[in-house]
Structure 1
Amino acid sequence: MNSDVILPPQVAWASGVFANGPLIRKTTHIADLPGVFIDDDAWRGCEPQQRVYDVEMLDSPSDEGSLYVGVTHLYAGKIGDEFFMTRGHFHQRREQGEVYFGLRGCGLLLLQTPSGEARLERVKAGSVHIIPSFSAHRLINTGEDTLSALAVWPSVAGHDYAALAGGFSLRVFASEHHPQGWEVGNG
């Protein structure tokens, strides 16, 4: 019996670049992030079309039981004293979890419960992050290079950005006074 061997999609672990798969790409610019950064004047003073992050994901089925796989490429930069970050979200179906795998760069994963309890996890090449159900999540690039993370999540999870209209309870600011180059403040 002869069987065809299929070459599945691949990801280059050092860069997060996909190959051999149909991709969906989305770019988020500074203009797409009103109210995300605390310093609104600094946000307004930025080039509106500057890219903050790109997401590439495999074009996958979206039915119950299917998974999405994507890579977020969060560029280095700051608005005011805050590092570039993703918008952050809860899942529309809150009971759905997610997994992040750090590929390159360095930064933080901010996790927050519906009651506002927040914690940070360091993201770097090789780190694995289990995002529990009922947790909002956001990537923050605290480094000088692109932070890339591969994510796997249920196709039916959806995104709820509106629940975080008031922001996360923690913020991360650049700081020359701390050895890691950043400090945590309240949202």
Structure 2
Amino acid sequence: MTNPQPGPGLVITPEGLTGRTGRYEKRLADLGGLFADETAFAARLTTDADRVVYHVDEFRPSTADGDLITGISTLSPGRVGAEFHMTRGHIHAQHDRTEIYHCLSGHGLMLMETLDGQTVVTELRPGVVAYVPPVHIHRSVNVGDTDLVTLFCYPADAGQDYDIIARAGGMRHRAVADADGDGWRLAENDGYVPR
């Protein structure tokens, strides 16, 4: 019997994902239109426009049916006005595809929404796995004071539709700091337009 050849492997390090096939970064300037408080966003841009709010390292072996994309998402702490840092969010272009997020470190939320505006939230802490069901818009929100780091995995043929959130004026609810500033709560999005 011959020794098998090692297959591709991924290693999670403090610097990111070793063995990744891609990386993208979103700076504060890339997130225009996400936050309700446009004045606070404009003020942050004067000093933090180039700050990386989140980055994603991914391993994308192929786009074939049955394959999986795996990666690490790192979302920095911070707020714009009362709203916590968040990812742009998306729904899968193939609406029946699911996704999981395993929280490795930090404190955050997986904010999910059905097409008819029903909100579902999974609070993320180390060891928690958030399951994103089919036909759910979803985004990560960092409600803590350290990086929110999650391992994600979804079918390679899922695709993403990022515009679905913009077309509705955002998601139905926003994650904002509570009155004493020590926690979070959901607030109605006044600009939301039902789909």
- TM-score normalized with structure 2 length: 0.88
Query: Which residue number corresponds to residue 42 of structure 2?
Result: 44
Query: Which residue number corresponds to residue 96 of structure 2?
Result: 95
Aligned equivalent of 1:173, options 136, 153, 176:
176
Contact 1:9 1:18 in 2 (8 A): no
Cα deviation 1:156-186 (Å, max 9, x = unaligned): 11111111111111111112437x5112100
Q: Taking structure 1 as reference, are residues 132 and 16 closer, same or farther at Cα in structure 2, changes over 3 Å only?
A: farther
Cα deviation 1:4-46 (Å, max 9, x = unaligned): 3416423338x58323x24311000111111111111111222
Identity, % of aligned pairs? 32
Higher helix share: 2
Q: How does 1:57-72 map to 2 (within 5 A)?
A: 57-72=58-73
Q: How does 1:16-165 map to 2 (within 5 A)?
A: 17-19=16-18, 21-46=19-44, 47-165=48-166
State the AA in 2 paired with 1:120: V
Contact 1:16 1:148 in 2 (8 A): no
State the AA in 1 paired with 2:56: V
- TM-score normalized with structure 1 length: 0.92
Cα deviation 1:49-91 (Å, max 9, x = unaligned): 1111000001311122211001110001111111100011111
In 2, distance between residues paired with 1:185 and 1:29? 25
Query: Which residue number corresponds to residue 10 of structure 2?
Result: 10
In 2, distance between residues paired with 1:149 and 1:170? 22
In 1, distance between residues paired with 2:37 and 2:20? 38
In 2, distance between residues paired with 1:81 and 1:152? 30
In 1, distance between residues paired with 2:107 and 2:10? 22
Give the RMSD, CA atoms, in angstroms.
Answer: 1.7
Q: Taking structure 1 as reference, are residues 44 and 115 closer, same or farther at Cα in structure 2, changes over 3 Å only?
A: same
State the number of aligned residues: 184
Unaligned runs of 5+ in 1: none
Contact 2:98 2:131 in 1 (8 A): yes
Q: Aligned with 2:40: secondary structure?
A: helix
In 2, distance between residues paired with 1:76 and 1:86? 12
Cα deviation 1:100-129 (Å, max 9, x = unaligned): 111000011101000010021110110011
Q: Aligned with 2:100: secondary structure?
A: strand
Unaligned runs of 5+ in 2: 190-195
Displacement, 1:138? 0.6
Q: Aligned with 1:62: secondary structure?
A: coil
